[in-house]
Chain A
Amino acid sequence: MRFAVFSSSGRRYLHPEALPAQGRTFLSSFTAIAKLSFDEPPLNQQFHFSDSLQRALQGKLLLLDELPFSIEVLHTHYLHGYIGLMKSIAKLHNGYVCQRCGNDEPHEFAAFSCARCGETCTYCRKCIMMGRASECQPLVFWRGHQSIPAIQKHRNPLRWEGDLSPEQAQAAHAVANAIEQRRRQLVWAVCGSGKTELLFPGLALAFQQGLRVCIATPRVDVALELEPRLRAVFPMLSIAALYGGSKQKSEESQLIVSTAHQLLRFRDAFDVMVIDEVDAFPYSFDPMLALAVERAAKKEAAVIFLTATPNEEMKRQVKTGVLPAVKIPVRYHRRPLPVPEFVWCGNWEKRLQKRKLPNVVNHWCLQRLNRNQPFLLFVPSVSTAEQVKSILGVPAAYADDPERKEKVEKFRRGEIPAIVTTTILERGVTIPRIDVAVLGAEHNIFTESALVQIAGRVGRSAEAPDGDVAFFHFGKTKAMAAARRHIMEMNEQA
């Protein structure tokens, strides 16, 4: 779709090529929206907007192509200020920026000779799987008020009989307070301190007020584990889990558990945004996901950050008082966190090439296989996982593995004794009574936060609050030392 700009009361508005000019004089030729500058028409309160368009677009940010409405309808709503049009690709003096995913890496853009705009059209390859954001493809959003039938005030939404520990209760109070006041709040809680439960009172308050809530998590596995738990305690609520390939598309639900990627299609949608594992790998490494989460929340939303391992920037904000924080240094069963043991295992890569595990690692694994003690063995890469799997004869689970879900389920039920895995299982996964080991703990993928998380898989249940954590390494790293210090400090504060 090409647009031209016309002037009305001193402001510049867009006109699509497909509609008759109606005697307008244009200040530009018809071209890609990315090449024009324009203003937003003011909202006309008297205008009777289309309910179905409102339902399709409110709280969203979509490509024009994704909307099944005629250009006449869309343009009328645009002129009356009910929908906003924006460039999906913006050109700055030093390159392009994708307005949907925030990508600004030159090698993640490409151009082609476009049959729509008749020009060389630059597009974003980073978010291409969600449809092509290109110079002649506008992004569309709803500017009128929102009204979603599924979002209601619930008098008594929470069905939960559990108890909170004094530490949890204190954090829960802070969260409820932040939701009430629509502010930011960090919950700094050790792995296995029961972060999900401490959200319940705050969420209940939000649903009493008819607020819309999103819990954003970095991993599909975590979303899958969280959704049924929330369904059980908030039975009357409309809840949806969104992740790549999820069948549910009930995007109008009051509570959405979503991977960060899926939030790229939302805009100004949530009153409360809970960001789980805010330090986790994809979030801290990928500004795209940070942008998605920020944009999906309303301007005046409450934002709750949950983490066991805040990054330096967050710690700084806490210190200077910009970000209120509440700390839970102890697990709900009040037993100390298992402290990792460092074991030198020599050049393990060389051993693997000879199809052998280092002796210490082999011993550690066999011991546990013999006495039916379940364990997770973390390795730095998929290829290492494959090698170790064939040597040890236990299944491997990693990101591209189509049977990953089933394998983790089987492991949980005790049908398989152990899993070799990459860092994908480092977070959020709760399996009682396990030990964990890391092979190649010196690898740079194992950051302080990753190692703390890995150690945090152990001793999570009250019935089995202890367990072993071993870091097998070929040379100690700062990250390993920092992880152990982190855990010991938390234990001291407890």
Chain B
Amino acid sequence: MRCRWCGQFYREALSWSEIFGVKEQDLLCGKCRQSLTFISGEICRVCGRMRELTDPSYFQKEICVDCLRWEEDENWRNEFFQNRSLYVYNEAMKQFMIRFKFRGDAAFADLIKFDWKRFWRKHDANELVVPIPLSEERLYERGFNQSLILAQMLTDDPADLLIRPHPIEKQSKKTRKERVNSGQQRFELKDEAAVKDKEIVLIDDIYTTGTTVRNAAKTLYQHGARRVRSLTLARAV
């Protein structure tokens, strides 16, 4: 069998669950699969960051310093927010993301489908599933919205409610300070009525500083959402 990522041939070691059809056969070779690391053990109760991989000074009790800063900021302190991520955003995940998003290899989604759906079953709370949108320009450039693809694996009808105005620069090229303070991160709503009193789960690919999902949450809260949280594929260390 050929690995659907690195193209190397590998020997199939079928597991019992694959033989009985409980689990589909893995499309990745062992080496590529092992390069992905699940978030596990103790995590920040707000952003889901893995404690074991973080410098001890970054945690105060069960919350990380980045989240403390959000909680201390008067613009953000009054709103509930929580994120959970499936994988650690390590070097391997970075390479996956480069090819998925920046080269446009949409088929990446098939390779993490099993893990991502299992993660969803653990976290599904019957909320409205809202993918983080791209700006129109970025959507044209890439040809697809990676968050929409991730959301479509979880539900048949993700609610495409948000609009993202055209950014001046890409998020991934900014520092934390620039991201947190940028006023460009405002989202707009397509349909205000659809949000009122709703419990919402935002879907995005990477949680880095949390600016994107928190800004999306803010817009949703401003229009009467009852509770907003996010699930992301990977969390930066």
Contacts and interface: CB of A to CB of B under 8 A. Distances in A.
Nearest to B1: A107
A131 B141 CA distance: 11
B144 interface: yes
A71 to B, nearest CB: 13
A113 B107 contact: no
A125 B105 CA distance: 7
Interface stretch (A37-45, A115-123, A170-178, A187-195): A115-123
B137 to A, nearest CB: 11
A121 B142 CA distance: 12
B145 interface: yes
Chief secondary structure at chain A's binding surface:
mixed
A107 B27 CA distance: 11
A132 interface: yes
Nearest to A130: B103
B2 interface: yes
A470 to B, nearest CB: 29
Given A107-B2, A112-B149, A115-B145, A129 B103 contact: yes
A392 B10 CA distance: 27
B194 interface: no
A132 B145 contact: no
Nearest to A115: B139
Contacts of A113: 144
B7 to A, nearest CB: 8
A357 to B, nearest CB: 25
A131 B99 CA distance: 9
Contacts of A464: none
A129 B145 CA distance: 19
B104 A123 contact: yes
Interface in A64-121: 107, 110, 112-116, 121
A286 to B, nearest CB: 11
Contacts of B110: 110
Contacts of A125: 105, 107
Query: Taking each of B103, B105, B142, B143, which has the highest tally of chain A beta carbons within 10 Å of its own beta carbon?
Result: B143
Contacts of A110: 105-107, 110
B212 to A, nearest CB: 19
A128 B143 contact: no
B99 A114 contact: no
B144 A132 contact: no
A132 B103 contact: yes
Contacts of B20: none
Tell me which of B4, B99, B105, B110 has the highest count of chain A C-beta atoms within 10 A of its own C-beta.
Answer: B105
Given A107-B2, A128-B99, A115 B107 contact: no
A112 B103 CA distance: 14
B94 to A, nearest CB: 15
Contacts of A309: none
A121 to B, nearest CB: 7
Contact of A128 (B105, B142, B145, B149): B105
A385 to B, nearest CB: 15
Nearest to B100: A128
Contact of B143 (A107, A129, A134): A134
A363 B108 CA distance: 48
Nearest 3 A-B pairs (CB), nearest first? A110-B107, A112-B106, A132-B104
9 contacts: A112-B144, A112-B149, A113-B144, A114-B143, A115-B139, A115-B140, A115-B143, A115-B144, A132-B104
